[in-house]
A and B are shown apart, each in its own frame.
Chain A
């Protein structure tokens, strides 16, 4: 009887010890998991603050004078500014270009307004060869921006286009939207009528180009010059090849659609070697291409501009002197 009781007591003590051991282990686990969670919060929190500090704080000030150039690009600079020339090549359908605009659009405006940079915007269409609607969105956006440049509101319109960038797989930048955005800017009724007329003229050109001309040209070229050669040809080369092989591109002459395609081709031929133009967004300072770290961070772009010497704009202002106030 007595030994039975002792045995039970021993078991109780053993159970008690097991429990304490388990509780201690649980506490240790909780402590370690808590410490790990603290490490995660610390790394993510501090890192987030550091990364976010690079985001600009917005620029609401004056926009420097905009001058349309004969090649369809737009120079944004203080009059007579002696500063580095920052060339920006962007496609309105390119998501990375929208990121660039979100991040550094204000940096460029501020630098130009303070006379610290001469910014030259080149609207291009690297997607003009892609299937519809990617190609048609890209061209329609660029053409609308080019038209806005006629009325000295390119920079403002550029912002609106990027803020409303369509999905690459969905029809976007509808003419009615493009018009609405233009009308919402500081524009006269006469300018709005001009804008509407231009869009109306360009729309069938874009449709013919993206839905008939390019598919026919591509399939002919694929057969005759081969896939591998085709891949090395930029669109303007391809159009030149088509010209000799019965693909008439004269419908592009004198249109803004044609001008955008030419501007894109010119970007490919303007630079070579390390500075070669291979996609958008591409940012050049005095002819030297910037890497992603400089393009896609506010500090990177600011530092690159600040450390560059003055440059010369190579293009000429357009005949009609767009940008004159």
Chain B
């Protein structure tokens, strides 16, 4: 009867379960890891003219929209990285990051389905490539991993070194 109440072993000192002790640090690791990914993705997309080409290669948007995305997407990634590092609105930043990955995956799947041979342009590069050199599977798997990081942060937003704590959220 008694041992079914709390499944995780309890630290006698604090009365906290091991998960409760570890989870904030895992979330912090996810925040830093995902921020590093976002910064790398943003920086490698410079200069924006090449990013525009990468977006156009998906053939999903009219040129003006592709240009806007080419210019603003890396900035958006940079902003998300900043929020993750600051720990501001952690849950929602994690959620938005995960949704961004869902959008990326959808874009890659649609390129695949339409038989395009492009580089995903995830970390710079992009544009038409030799059909033998496409790596859609790898790109999707990578984005799924990043999505998992975002989802973890969204589900367990409590973490140390976060502005949220100072503002009274996810203590």
Contacts and interface: CB of A to CB of B under 8 A. Distances in A.
A96 B46 contact: no
B48 A51 contact: yes
Nearest to B115: A169
A187 interface: no
Interface string B42-81: 0000111110110011010000000000011011101110
B21 to A, nearest CB: 24
Contacts of B75: 43-44, 47-48, 51
B50 A44 contact: no
A52 interface: yes
Contacts of A297: 47, 49
B92 interface: yes
Contacts of B49: 99-100, 102-103, 296-297
Nearest to A29: B169
Given A31-B167, A32-B169, A52 B47 contact: no
Interface in A103-131: 103
A145 B104 CA distance: 38
B88 A96 contact: no
Contacts of A39: 79, 82-83, 86, 88
Nearest to A97: B53
A276 interface: no
A39 B75 CA distance: 11
Q: Is the interface of B mostly helix, strand, loop or mixed?
A: helix
Nearest to B168: A28
Contacts of A40: 76, 79-80, 83
B88 A36 contact: yes
Interface residues of A, number: 33
Contacts of A103: 49
B131 to A, nearest CB: 10
B89 interface: yes
Contacts of A167: 59
Contacts of A169: 116
B93 interface: yes
B71 A293 contact: no
A169 B57 CA distance: 11
Contacts of B47: 54, 292-293, 296-297, 300
A96 B89 CA distance: 38
Contact of A32 (B50, B52, B127, B167): B167
Interface in B114-147: 116, 127-128
Contacts of B83: 36, 39-40
Contacts of A25: 169
B167 A96 contact: no
A296 B50 contact: yes
B71 A52 contact: yes
A96 B53 contact: yes
A55 to B, nearest CB: 9
A232 to B, nearest CB: 15
Interface string A24-50: 010011011101100110111001100
Interface string B76-115: 1011101100101100110000000000000000000000
A117 B127 CA distance: 30
Interface in A85-107: 95-96, 98-100, 102-103
Contacts of B48: 51
B38 to A, nearest CB: 12
A97 to B, nearest CB: 10
B79 A43 contact: yes
A95 B128 contact: yes
Closest 7 CB pairs of A and B: A36-B89, A43-B79, A47-B75, A296-B47, A40-B79, A296-B49, A99-B49
Given A32-B89, A48-B75, A100-B49, 7 more contacts: A29-B169, A32-B167, A35-B88, A43-B75, A95-B53, A98-B53, A99-B52
14 contacts: A28-B167, A28-B168, A32-B164, A35-B88, A36-B83, A39-B86, A43-B76, A47-B78, A51-B75, A99-B53, A167-B59, A168-B128, A296-B47, A297-B49
Interface of A: 25, 28-29, 31-33, 35-36, 39-40, 42-44, 47-48, 51-52, 54, 95-96, 98-100, 102-103, 167-169, 292-293, 296-297, 300
